[in-house]
Amino acid sequence: MHADIPTQHLISPLFSALFSTREEIHWRAVFCMGQTVSSLARKSLESARVVMRRLMWSLNDESGGIGWGAPEAMGEIMARHPRLAEEYASILCSYIIPSQGPDNYLEYRPLRQGAYWGIARLAQASPEYVQSCRKDLEYGLERETEPKTLIFICLALTQFKEFSAKTTANLHDLSQRDETARIYWNNQFQCMSLRSLAQSVLQKNPLL
């Protein structure tokens, strides 16, 4: 972040960059949004809340938009600022819970996939804020089918130590699958194996 550019002035360009179809630009925008809004929160918590509400609004059907990158940005912001995590973690988690209804649950799979990434990113930094959605992550492990989504769920689940018998069986099944996916994690693109991640969760040996 350039020291001469006021933090607040970076927000709109970053929102635009979240919509980029180029992966490098999209994910750098997610990273920079986390950096920028957490910095903004240290100066003005209310200004940071406005950004969080704007991200949430973009995921609402009434916004007229799609909300590309919003769940990922929310996760990255909260991973960097515990106070915002205290206030908004439950909302991020609600995006993967079908019982939350159409106003919260993200029925569109690419957006929901982004929510799983955001939850995994928050779990990496502050696992205490996602403890309440463990069962919902386990349920997601059962119903989701896309390898990249399952990898994000496994990344989040590495922070937990106990699972139901059904989830353990599902993890065993995933540990036999050969799919890999190129994902953005730890500030870089890397290829992750569904097999290895499922085995890691079973062994309770976090890779985060």
Q: What distance in Å separates the CA atoms of residue 107 and residue 4, rounded to the nearest whole number?
A: 41
On whether residue 93 sits in a domain, the answer given is yes
Q: Is residue 95 part of a domain?
A: yes
Interatomic CA distance for residues 98 and 80, integer angstroms = 27
Q: What is the mean pLDDT of residues 64-79?
A: 92
Q: How many domains does the chain have?
A: 1
Q: Which of 29-43, 61-75, 155-169, 179-193 has the lowest mean pLDDT?
A: 61-75
Task: Tell me the residue range of the domain where 152 lies.
Answer: 7-203
> Is 15 within a domain?
yes
Q: What is the pLDDT of residue 4?
A: 37
Given a cut of 70, is residue 206 above it in pLDDT?
A: no
- The answer to whether 68 and 59 are in contact (CB under 8 A) is no
The confidence score (pLDDT) of residue 204 equals 73
Query: Is 57 a domain residue?
Result: yes
Contact (Cβ atoms closer than 8 angstroms) between residue 158 and residue 206: yes
156: in domain = yes
Q: What is the pLDDT of residues 87-130, one digit of tens each?
A: 999 999 999 998 755 568 999 999 999 999 999 999 999 999 99
Does 208 fall in a domain?
A: no
pTM: 0.92
Would residue 155 count as lying in a domain?
Answer: yes
2 lies in some domain: no
CATH number, domain with residue 77: 1.25.10
